[in-house]
Every structure is written in structure tokens, then in C-alpha cells.
Amino acid sequence: MPRYRLLIEYDGGPYSGFQAQAGQPSVQASLERAAEAFLGMPIRINAAGRTDSGVHATGQVVHFEIDRELRPQTVRDAMNAHLAPEPIAVLEAEAAAEDFHARFSAIGRRYSYRILNRRSPPALEQGRVWHVKKPLDCEAMHAAAQLLLGVHDFTTFRDAQCQAQSPIKTLDLALVRQAGEEIVLEFAARSFLHRQVRSMTGSLVEVGSGRWSAGQLKAALDAADRTRCGQVAPAQGLYLTGVDY
């Protein structure tokens, strides 16, 4: 059966997460309804990552199979027509090899986290950034983030409900930069533990606020103890920005 790969963006605010859940709105359920509406057949969507409730995406990748050959542009446009007015958009569609899998073929995932660092609350970006009033030291956060790079036991930054077989992960990128009134954190790895990015972000904010030193962040990492994690950053500032294949 023909297989199609889609690049998706969405506002995660209205959804209980990507994964379909009985009785709860989800990005997956909305995509499957849209696909079924124009194809006239049940469709199963597979995604590169299952984002949590409130988490956004600018570069989510999904795939599905259908029973006929269609132009990729037709798939993209038909999906978008049936998704309206939901805050989900198909940016690109293309035919995929029969062995392509959005999740299992991925060799890397990229996330960014947006912090609005000013006294005044967001008006236009409500639900899309974490508002932190206290001034943060971006340079200190970036320096501390470098201590997270490489292969580590990330148990400290692993949610208690994480189903990954091992807490050992390799973090390839940890960047903290200033963008006007925003502080943006960027992370890249082959895969992440459940809520790892939000946990690392919250702990780096502890450094930026002066409550922790870089050494305390490293000690928390080395402890491999979830109770040593700092605050967990809220979902609304997190974005899945890309998947590498």
C-alpha cells in the first residue's frame, strides 16, 4: 500500500497530547478523522514522537498508508481542508518508501523551549511561552547546559511514569540563547526520556535565577535521583521542532 510522510505543525493547547486517548481530544485523533474523511477508510497515524498535553510542534513527522496512489499535494491540501478550523496544519506531504516509519526510522529529534523573561505577562503569546518574571542569566544557563552534553544516566530528569527501558541517553546539543525578551533553549538527541527536556529546562532556570550553581546542576545529574530535579518547566513553552532521518 502507498505510504505517505507528512510534516505537521500544531498548537498543543487544546489537546490532551499527541496520542489518541478515549474521551479526550488529541492531535492523532484529529489527523485520523481528517484522513478518513477524504479517503473513506479507517487510517492509523504513526508519529515520530508523542508530545504531552499542551506541547506544540513545528516539525512533527507522521506517516500513514492508504489504498491508492495520490499526488502528495492532494494529500496535503485535503488533510488541511478537513482539519480546519483546528490549530493543526500539514506543511508538507511526500511519498515514502514502504519501510519508512516516522518513529523507528528517526535518528534524531530536536526540541526548543521558549521563556518570556520580563515583568509583564504575555498578551499575544499566552499559552506558547513560559513567563518567568525574575531576570535570568542566559550565559550562566548556557554554560551549565554544556555539563548535560554527552552520554549520561538522566534519571534525575526522567518523569516517574517514563516507560523507556533505560535512562541512559546521549544529549547532542544543549544551547541557551537570548532572543530579545525571550530566552530560547534548544536540545537535540536521538531520543529523549519522558519530560526530560522540561525537567532539564526547569533545572537550568534554577541556575539562571541564581538559586543553583552549575556545580549543583552537575551534582543533581550525577545523583541519578529524580528527587534532585529542580522545578519542571510547564508544557506550553515546549516545541518539537524537527526530526532527522
Catalytic positions: 52
What the block records as the C-alpha cell of 141 is: 544557563
Q: Find residue 175's DSSP bridge partners.
A: 186
d(CA 133, CA 136): 9
Contact between residue 113 and residue 176 where contact means Cβ atoms under 8 Å apart: no
Kindly tell me the burial class for residue 130, based on how many C-beta atoms sit within 10 Å of its own C-beta (0-12, 13-18, 19 or more): buried
Contact between residue 203 and residue 217 where contact means Cβ atoms under 8 Å apart: yes
Contact between residue 44 and residue 67 where contact means Cβ atoms under 8 Å apart: no
What the block records as the C-alpha cell of 217 is: 546542576
Contact between residue 216 and residue 32 where contact means Cβ atoms under 8 Å apart: no
